[in-house]
Each structure stands twice: as structure tokens, then as C-alpha cells.
Amino acid sequence: METLLTPLTASLTELREPGKVIAKAGNQPVAILNRNEMIGYFVPKGAVSEVALVAASHTQVQDFLASRLPEIGHVLDYLKDK
């Protein structure tokens, strides 16, 4: 079972009327389900505007990459040839 990052859900059928999904969501993200399988998130503009963006320092980026390198190493190896 997959963990959803939001308590709100909507089906693809409901997404045909995005206004209703936005009204139901308020300013919260909505998990979009297709046959009870999560396929993505619908994030209203209001939810994004509440997020404060802060630039990361070079050291913070390096530390993050070093901590995640085992998880993304195969992607970096693939991108070296591109």
C-alpha cells in the first residue's frame, strides 16, 4: 500500500471538473487516483503560494547530494554519457 502525502483524494473522473476539485481542496494538495492507484498530485496555486522558498547554500547542496548519492548514483552514472 502506497503512502499518500495528503489526506485529500480525487479520481480522474472528478478531475474532469477541476473547479470542484479546487473547491474541495481549499489550499491543500490532492492525490489523484486512477482505479484506487495514486498517479499524481493536483496542487492548487494557493498551496504553492504559502510555501516560502529559501535558496540553499553550496554546502547544503553538497551535503544533500552526499547523503543521497547511494540512492541516485545510478541516475548520475546514466547522465554522465548524455
Parse the chain into domains and list their residue ranges.
9-80
- CA–CA distance, 35 with 44 (Å, rounded to integer): 22
Q: Phi/psi of residue 31, each to 5°?
A: -80, 130
Could you give the CA distance from residue 5 to residue 3 in angstroms, rounded to a whole number?
7
Find the mean pLDDT for residues 46-66: 85
Q: What angle do CA 43, 26, 24 make, to 5 degrees?
A: 95
pLDDT tens, position by position, 3-54: 888 899 999 999 899 899 989 888 899 999 999 899 999 888 888 877 788 8
Q: Determine phi and psi for 17, rounding to 5 degrees.
A: -120, 80
Q: pTM of this prediction? A: 0.58
Average pLDDT over residues 57-80: 83
